[in-house]
Structure 1
Amino acid sequence: MRKKLMEMLEARKDEIIHIRRYLHENPELSFKEEKTAQYILDFYKGKDVEVQSNVGNGHGIIVTIKGGKPGKTIALRADFDALPILEETGLPFKSKNEGVMHACGHDGHTAYLMVLADCLIQLKDEFPGTIKIIHQHAEEVPPGGAKSIVDSGALNDVENIFGIHLLPMAKAGNVGYHSGYSFAGRSYFKLGIQGVGGHGSSPHLANDAIVAGSYFVTAVQTIISRRLNPMDMGVITIGSFDGKGTFNVIKDCVELEGDIRYMTEETKVTIEKEVRRIVKGIEAEFGVQCELTYISDYPPLYNNPDVTAMVKEILESTNDPDIKEVVEYPQLSPSDDFAYYLEKIPGCYFYIGCTPKEIEKPYFNHNPKFDIDEDALIVAAKSVGYVVCGYYGLE
């Protein structure tokens, strides 16, 4: 079966690329992917599978492929939402939806999985067990689509789950993995500081919110440098400081927004506790009033060590010219709501190199110039296909 599957995928490489380009031209934002979802549903029409639509809190789709014999149930996931980014690639198939772009590779994720799923449907009588194909909406915007799909109960029978992410950290043919905590968790905060405005010449008669906010910007960085174990990963980024006023007027209020990343739940708790402590200190120190909104969304992504070791062993033994190297990646600081699946289901989320040819320093995901080497798509399809065959012990 493995040989059949790989031959089928190779014969449909151009189709995978075609689907990716169609999706790239027609991106839709999280929770608004109506046409994308319909395109995916149309692809499965007439095929001998069960298709569920509108799964979870949006346009999630689950396609259930039942094998010819009883066996374990696994799941494969790809996300299909885009980002609010104005594309600057100059590609002939660039986004037709101005201000919306597939700048993270989700078009490629969806394209490879659609064709792989169709091949598995055609071969389903030859494998034991059930494969659930998850086409997931809204990965980019909290609360995301993954948690709602898990909460729906549609995956309660799934024993293991797998997914990939295209990352331009290496050329096509490179497949990366990491065991244990692999992607960071993420929290968001917004801090409003209310002081007392006044004339720039008389600061003693005012209570400067900009000074208080500036102190906060500096103070929260000491959480990373002085409150975390040096071996623990943590990042606090102030992405917005809204305090614009007039040059000779002391600002009475400011609003800050920030992004927090961490690799363990323990670090998450520590950072939140310290942020709240600093906010209380600023109120006391500067005599201002603070309103803090603090929301933790995607948890750290934990790859099950046993499942990851199995994936590594399977991929290292393929002897496939398209899979040139299988290497261990470091922990990475981005977040992904695939972490919600892995909280409930042991699995592995691994990485497919996609640096465009002739480029040494590629644009990373979420950049308006982000692009991929489309040869990476067949690598993704084959890699996940090999994992499926290896999981079920099929040669």
Structure 2
Amino acid sequence: MNVKEKLFEKLEQKEVEMIQHRRYLHQHPELSFQENGTANYIKSFYKDKDVVVTQPVAESNAIIVEIKGQHPGNTIGLRADFDALPIHEEADVPFKSTNEGVMHACGHDAHTAYLLGLADALIDIKDELPGTIKIIHQHAEEMPPGGAQQIMASGALSDLDEVYGIHVVPVAGPEVIGYNTGNAFAGSSTFTLTIKGLGGHAASPHKTHDALVAGTNFVNTLQTIVSRRIDPSEMGVITVGSFDAPGGANVIQDKVTIKGTARYLNDDLEQFMYEEIEKVAKSVAVGFDITYDLDYQFGYPVLYNHPAQTQAVTDILSTSQGDYFKHLVEIPAVSGSEDFAYYLKEIPGTFFIVGCKPEHMEDPYMNHHPKFEVNENALLVSAKSLGEIAINRLSAKA
């Protein structure tokens, strides 16, 4: 029995435990930068195992587990995130969130569960492995500045030769693994615009500076940035997700708060989109005689999948296509963002997806939906694919 066969046998034996991990974590979700219970659960899992466990970022919950093989080889990083979202769960599952208003609506519970199982299996066979594997249990993926940036700044991964990660997405079932090369996930920024006008009686609009009308003009004009200011061959998205203007039917409001996000697949657009949004805000201020405050936060960079490592992944996984999964497909660039991008800015590697569409859903709810569900067969597929990549790349020549 070769190393891959031994690893897969171990993973199959641990599948039930992976599902148990996932369901426990799903019941006990915690928000970004507040994942104390989750971190303790992860640390307790590694207690008494023959590994080195460190927490590289002061006052955070990031955990790195070092698995040392018995022979010379590369140092490979494998990452999973473990924070949840401020969403009230509506999924009808027996292991529903017990933390009111917080839910694992993005699949990070599944990520952590399969990585715990994979780490355990790699520990079991570590005497047959070359090199070193660093298991990266990452906090705070959902909230900029993000946990990945903090871990990279700590220097704890400065010795990595390559890094790999997975996201589960219900665009297909677990029989599908998707990859893409180059600029693969969008960069993102967020903004909050506060418009201050002069309120008054609805019957006398001429005596006011209507913040609500100014705000609606701002929202409508924003879309011309994408349609008229960005090259049509480039991907750009500006979305307003919140327009807060509380008040009565007969009152002209003097303050409006607008929140939104900008996304792009070209890092050059990061500063450009900020400057254009600022221009729109200034033009609205002049046109409607209001003042404003723009709080603009640059978020995650564009995620770049390195071509050589992505090709290596497809070569490795193609040997197992038809075994534990059926389809290895190239997918288009994704407009969502991922702070895994921070690892790939400095370390060669790639980030790919595993389908997690539930068998009972024809039209599944996507990530970040209150009814989001995971097909738990995706746990074993994720663990096997990431494990297969790791044991191959440990001995890969540069």
TM bracket, shorter-chain basis: over 0.9
Q: Tell me the residue number matched to 2:8.
A: 6
| Shift in Å, 1:315 | 0.4
Which residue identity is paired with 2:21? Answer: I
Residue 67 (structure 1) aligned with residue 94 (structure 2):
no
CA distance in 2, matches of 1:27, 1:144: 17
Q: Tell me the residue number matched to 1:270.
A: 272
Q: Tell me the residue number matched to 2:380.
A: 378
CA distance in 1, matches of 2:248, 2:378: 52
CA distance in 2, matches of 1:320, 1:64: 32
- Report if the CA contact (8 A) 1:74-1:160 is conserved: yes
Q: Tell me the residue number matched to 1:358.
A: 360
CA distance in 1, matches of 2:152, 2:172: 32
**Greater CA drift, 156-165 or 97-106:** 97-106
CA distance in 1, matches of 2:14, 2:253: 61
5+ residue gaps in structure 2? none
CA distance in 1, matches of 2:63, 2:180: 28
Residue 229 (structure 1) aligned with residue 231 (structure 2):
yes
- Report if the CA contact (8 A) 2:76-2:394 is conserved: no
Q: Tell me the residue number matched to 1:164.
A: 166
CA distance in 2, matches of 1:306, 1:160: 11
- Report if the CA contact (8 A) 2:35-2:61 is conserved: yes
The match for 1:240 among 238, 242, 262 is 242
The match for 1:284 among 273, 283, 286 is 286
- Report if the CA contact (8 A) 2:71-2:130 is conserved: yes
Q: Tell me the residue number matched to 2:194.
A: 192
| Shift in Å, 1:175 | 0.5
Task: Sort the Cα spacing of 1:57 and 1:161 in 2 relative to 1 into closer, same or farther, 3 A.
Answer: farther
- Report if the CA contact (8 A) 2:19-2:113 is conserved: yes
Task: Sort the Cα spacing of 1:328 and 1:57 in 2 relative to 1 into closer, same or farther, 3 A.
Answer: farther
- Report if the CA contact (8 A) 1:76-1:134 is conserved: yes
CA distance in 1, matches of 2:227, 2:27: 44
CA distance in 2, matches of 1:282, 1:70: 63
Task: Sort the Cα spacing of 1:351 and 1:123 in 2 relative to 1 into closer, same or farther, 3 A.
Answer: same
| Shift in Å, 1:393 | 4.8
Q: Tell me the residue number matched to 1:252.
A: 254
The match for 1:205 among 200, 204, 207 is 207
What do the CA deviations read for 1:183-213 (whole angstroms, capped 9, x no partner)? 1111111111111222222222221111111
SS of structure 2 residue aligned to 1:143: coil
- Report if the CA contact (8 A) 1:79-1:110 is conserved: yes
Number of aligned residue pairs: 394
**Greater CA drift, 238-247 or 355-364:** 238-247
The match for 1:316 among 312, 315, 318 is 318
CA distance in 1, matches of 2:145, 2:178: 27
SS of structure 1 residue aligned to 2:172: strand
Identity of aligned residues (%): 53
1:31-46 superposed matches below 5 A: 31-46=33-48
Task: Sort the Cα spacing of 1:190 and 1:349 in 2 relative to 1 into closer, same or farther, 3 A.
Answer: same
Task: Sort the Cα spacing of 1:319 and 1:239 in 2 relative to 1 into closer, same or farther, 3 A.
Answer: closer
Q: Tell me the residue number matched to 1:327.
A: 329
- Report if the CA contact (8 A) 1:166-1:352 is conserved: yes
What do the CA deviations read for 1:103-138 (whole angstroms, capped 9, x no partner)? 111111011111111111121121211110000111
CA distance in 2, matches of 1:107, 1:199: 51
| Shift in Å, 1:302 | 0.9
| Shift in Å, 1:389 | 2.1
Which residue identity is paired with 2:11? Answer: L
Residue 77 (structure 1) aligned with residue 79 (structure 2):
yes
Q: Tell me the TM-score normalized by structure 1.
A: 0.97
CA distance in 2, matches of 1:304, 1:319: 22
- Report if the CA contact (8 A) 1:232-1:267 is conserved: no
What do the CA deviations read for 1:228-283 (whole angstroms, capped 9, x no partner)? 11111111111111122222222222111111111111122221111111111112
The match for 1:387 among 383, 386, 389 is 389
